[in-house]
Amino acid sequence: MAIRFHQAGNHVEVLAAMPNYPFMKVFDGYKGKWYIREEMDGVIINRSAIFARQSQSVTARLLVYFSFVFSSIWVGLFNLKRFDLIICESPPLFLGISAWILTKFKGAKLLFNVSDLWPESAEKLGLVTNRFLLRISKSLEEFLYRHSDLISGQTQGIVTNISSRMPQKEVFWLKNGVDLSFYSPGKGTPGWRAELGFTPDDFIAFYGGILGHAQGLEVILKAAQELAHESRMKFILAGEGPLKRDLMDQAVKMELTNITFLPAYPKSRMPDVISEIDISIIPLRKLDLFQGAIPSKIFESLAMGKPILLGVEGEAKTLFIDDGRCGIACAPEDPKSLTAAIRKLYSDKALYDELSGNAYFYVSKNFNRDKIFVDFQQFIQQHLDAEKKM
């Protein structure tokens, strides 16, 4: 999005932490630095320090968040010029503190973009149980909504939730999407499958992304166990996250030989990877919280014509299964449902080809990032122009 704003003739700068994801360790070349200014694709990137730690304790996570809140305020005040608009990404919710403070000193409007309803999601997942912290976080969430000039949400569910609590605010659906110049059928250099020792006849079911609490990835291990006797069916889990070691230990205990764990791939290699898988598994835990969730990993797979097995109910199922017919819906956290869907796509070539064709058509028509950007820019400009006339 930043690149597209720059290409449209705007001056764009990003204020971000030192690179540390997904390993929660500051990358070489950035360690020990308080501030670095660099350029990527014409966009100025201002990086400030962060206290990155791998611990999943609430205290450690708060130290991570607030270390960047503090450093980003400092760098923002003393290293950044004045701006017309500051766009803040949430979560982490606490970055809203930095953004709100900087709007006061930089003469900017605040657009608060919500990709996940926090702290609601942390509470429902059981990641935060401290009642005082939850109460303070909810107060901060509503404060930021009230003091934002513009609000956007990544899913219709998020938009509806915020609108019901803040009826005086217009909330824009800034849907996720895909760069079709980077992901599309035919993209990718052949050879990834062979590199890993898989044959052209293997049917690869792939999960790529964070290996965390929300995904319910045990369902993939159980499906792999159910299909252990099917020699051509292979499973790959690629990525990092707090539960990776636990999942690998479970796979060993279950004596699974048909599942491979891989590290997270850089974006530059993802077309190579996705072009050579057969299906993409998109799971989430069975929680009402995820009725409005749309996992971002959906879009790249569909853009490359790969059917998805969607273990998510609600908005994602309505869009990509009911309307788009881009894959098969599986009951969340239900290994038998996932196993049946894998078998169906493995055995029914006509259905596989139909869903594959639908996948690219649907995502290119409805989730093209170029079109999303145009709509987003118009939303912003209309409201900024309206403010000037008042």
The CATH number of the domain holding residue 55 is 3.40.50.2000
Calculate mean pLDDT across residues 159-169: 91
DSSP string, 128-152: ---HHHHHHHHHHHHHHHHH-SEEE
56 has a pLDDT exceeding 80:
no
Judge whether 183 and 363 are in contact, CB under 8 Å.
no
CA atoms within 13 A of residue 31's CA, in its CB half-sphere: 6
Judge whether 226 and 335 are in contact, CB under 8 Å.
yes
Structure tokens belonging to residue 185? 């059928």
pLDDT digit string (tens) for 364-382? 999 999 999 999 999 999 8
For residues 215 and 146, membership in a common domain is answered with no
Task: Provide the domain limits for residue 13.
Answer: 2-179+368-389
For residues 250 and 355, membership in a common domain is answered with yes
Calculate mean pLDDT across residues 275-282: 97
Predicted local confidence at residue 178, as pLDDT: 93
Averaged pLDDT of the chain: 91
Predicted local confidence at residue 353, as pLDDT: 96
132 has a pLDDT exceeding 90:
no
For residues 248 and 155, membership in a common domain is answered with no
The residue count for the chain: 390
Quickly state the pLDDT bin for 63 (edges 50, 70, 90): confident
For residues 39 and 138, membership in a common domain is answered with yes
Predicted local confidence at residue 68, as pLDDT: 92
| Domain-located, residue 186 | no
For residues 12 and 58, membership in a common domain is answered with yes
Q: Which residues pair with 234 in a beta bridge?
A: 204
Predicted local confidence at residue 134, as pLDDT: 80
- Residue 249 CB neighbour total at 10 angstroms: 10
For residues 219 and 314, membership in a common domain is answered with yes
Predicted local confidence at residue 371, as pLDDT: 94
User: Rounded distance, CA 96 to CA 79, Å?
Assistant: 19
Contacts 24+ apart (CB under 8 A), 377-385: 377/5, 377/8, 379/150, 379/152, 379/172, 380/85, 380/111, 380/150, 383/149, 383/150, 383/170, 384/84, 384/85, 384/109
User: Rounded distance, CA 137 to CA 120, Å?
Assistant: 9
First to last CA, the chain: 28
For residues 245 and 175, membership in a common domain is answered with no
Judge whether 51 and 63 are in contact, CB under 8 Å.
yes
pLDDT digit string (tens) for 185-211? 989 899 999 999 999 999 999 999 999
For residues 283 and 306, membership in a common domain is answered with yes
| Domain-located, residue 347 | yes
Judge whether 284 and 295 are in contact, CB under 8 Å.
yes
For residues 237 and 360, membership in a common domain is answered with yes
| Domain-located, residue 184 | no
Number of domains in the chain: 2
Biggest CA-to-CA distance, the chain: 70
> Three-state SS for 326?
coil
Quickly state the pLDDT bin for 390 (edges 50, 70, 90): low
Predicted local confidence at residue 92, as pLDDT: 86
Cβ neighbors of 234 (< 8 A, separation 6 or more) are: 198, 202, 203, 204, 205, 258, 259, 260
Please give the model's pTM, rounded to 2 decimal places. 0.82
Q: How does DSSP classify residue 288?
A: G
For residues 11 and 108, membership in a common domain is answered with yes
For residues 45 and 156, membership in a common domain is answered with yes
For residues 211 and 170, membership in a common domain is answered with no
* Burial readout 347-370 (b: 16 or more C-beta within 10 A, e: otherwise): eeeeebeebbebbbebbbeebbbe
- Residue 387 CB neighbour total at 10 angstroms: 11
Helices (H) and strands (E) in the chain, counts: 15, 13
What's the chain's Rg over C-alpha atoms?
A: 22
User: Rounded distance, CA 56 to CA 305, Å?
Assistant: 36
Quickly state the pLDDT bin for 21 (edges 50, 70, 90): confident
DSSP string, 81-134: ---SEEEEEESSTTHHHHHHHHHHHHT-EEEEEESS-TTHHHHHTTS---HHHH
